[in-house]
Chain A
Amino acid sequence: MSRVTVPIGPQHPLLKEPIALRLDVVGERVVAAEIEIGYVHRGLERLLQERTFQQGVAVVERICGICSHAHTTAYCQAVEALIDVDLPPRAAAIRTLLCELERLHSHLLWLGVLSEAIGFTTVFMYAWRDREQVLDAMELISGGRIAHGANVVGGVREDVSPAQAREVLTMLRQLEMQLGLYQELVERDRSFHRRTRGIAVLSAAQVQAYGVVGPMARASGATLDIRRSAPYAAYGWLEVPAAVTNEGDVWARAWTRVQELQHSIDLCRTLLSALPAGPLARRVAERVQAGEAVSRVEAPRGELFYYVRSEGERTAARVKARTPTLPALLAMAELLPGLQTGDIAAVVAGCDLCMACADR
């Protein structure tokens, strides 16, 4: 059988964002894969060198339309470390609450994308309907569904009133009732297992070799979770359970995320039941003293890293963001060869890629 190169993307109905996959196939089997990115590179790290540290929050928020709050949290933490300011407890709790709501909507979005890719259109509809409720809750608190504008250097901008807390708790109760469906799908549905079990297995050694992070790494037995290993914001007060399994296949990536949906609901409840009193933000000067700082947060897709350097000017000398999608892409290029072409959609969807994050 002859070898054929199948180009997928950068524009293709299978893809949610632009990325070029070049797959060499022999019959129905992939024998080589090449990935090209950069189609949504906007030069945002360069732009951040032209903005004040406070204006930078709005720029990093626009790196990603899914984990925008994780980006501002990581960026603000780095700048706060540079100016050595403590986060007020109420600000830490609200920041963390939004982080967990964001994880809920990101995981539900992912579950929908995967389900659609393997023909479970009903689950796609349910998951995205449920995700809307989470976005409504985030909008209720921050005024924005996607770009929340909730973080500022030194704290948060938005408070959570008792009435808002009650509404969010109601949403969480309804979402938890739906969760049973997703758990049953992952635990027991035979068709789901046939499309996901044993597909694209990532070993623990590959996780280390490619630097894979987040739910994808935890589905391959890695324990790395920044919320647990280096707690930030309010995570030091919370008990974050580990969702780790060793199978390493597409099924394990689904199992890990469905476990994390329950964990995030529990964490949101704990935070809402005991929001500390106090101010929402500390007043900080516009100019940041010279120095450098790093910051790591556990975004929905895994460890998000920021490096910020100040030379004492009004603008940053360098802001660097490393997003979790980059190592996931590297690993995916290794996972594709050997697969049947019919499984490509499940594997690409299962890696939870965000090209806007990867390209910046």
Chain B
Amino acid sequence: MSERPVWWQAVEAAVGAPLAVDAVGGGEAVIDVAAERLLATVSALRQAWPALHLTAITGLSIGGEVVLLYHLLLDGGLTLRVRCPGAPPNAPSLAPSWPAANWYEREAHDLLGVAFKGHPNLAPLLVARDWTGGPPLLPVEGER
């Protein structure tokens, strides 16, 4: 990347390591953030850009590992990629400090079983309350 985007310095300081930036189709940047640095990174970004917008949180299951993508919008789009270790997968919750994350985290809990530490209420959002079939987006044994 020839010219560093505006968020580079703030994010690098919060992540605490040199940034490796991927680009995804659609021209937006993706950076890896360790789960334990997520809250500090988001907080640094929000301080630097008070109008920072949380667009969505996408949960993915890649090769048996759950990955969360935090899609942000400042001058351009920026995605933070967080790998969720553990069984069940877990991640720190943004919801107490940023209510916009509340339902997106509940959705990732519904669909992929991610346990968000510190979330005020992880009740089912989309799936029925009496659903017992497990998180619908996790691969079932025997399926691809």
Contacts and interface: CB of A to CB of B under 8 A. Distances in A.
B56 A330 contact: no
B76 A208 contact: no
Contacts of B56: 305, 307, 320, 322
A186 interface: no
Given A305-B71, A307-B69, A330-B99, A38 B128 contact: yes
B53 interface: yes
Given A38-B125, A294-B28, A322-B55, A327 B100 contact: yes
A316 B10 CA distance: 34
Given A209-B99, A210-B99, A230-B76, A360 B126 contact: yes
> Which applies to chain A's interface (DSSP): helix, strand, loop or mixed?
mixed
A176 to B, nearest CB: 33
Contacts of B58: 307, 318, 320
A322 B55 CA distance: 8
16 contacts: A37-B126, A41-B127, A45-B137, A77-B26, A81-B27, A208-B50, A208-B53, A209-B99, A224-B73, A230-B77, A293-B26, A296-B26, A327-B100, A329-B103, A330-B102, A359-B126
Task: Report which residue of B25, B69, B98, B100 has the largest number of chain A beta carbons within 10 angstroms of its beta carbon.
Answer: B25
Contacts of A189: none
A309 interface: yes
Interface in B50-103: 50-56, 58-60, 62, 69, 71, 73, 76-77, 79, 98-100, 102-103
B130 to A, nearest CB: 12
Interface in A22-52: 37-38, 41, 43, 45-46
A248 B64 CA distance: 45
B24 A318 contact: no
A36 B36 CA distance: 31
Contacts of B126: 37-38, 41, 359-360
Given A43-B136, A209-B98, A294 B79 contact: yes
> Which applies to chain B's interface (DSSP): helix, strand, loop or mixed?
mixed
A295 B58 CA distance: 13
A296 B53 contact: no
Contacts of A317: 60, 62
Contacts of A37: 125-126
Contact of A330 (B52, B79, B100, B111): B100
Contacts of A84: 25
Nearest to A319: B58
Given A208-B50, A330-B99, A295 B55 contact: no
Contacts of B24: 291-294
Given A81-B27, A294-B71, 12 more contacts: A45-B111, A46-B136, A77-B26, A208-B50, A208-B52, A211-B100, A224-B73, A294-B25, A294-B26, A296-B77, A317-B60, A322-B104
A326 interface: yes
A294 B128 CA distance: 29
Interface residues of B, number: 36
A291 B30 CA distance: 13
Interface in A330-358: 330
A220 to B, nearest CB: 12
A326 B100 CA distance: 9
Nearest to A294: B26
A303 interface: yes
Nearest to A211: B100
A46 B102 CA distance: 22
Contacts of A233: none
Interface string B9-44: 000000000000000111110000000000000000
A303 B137 contact: no
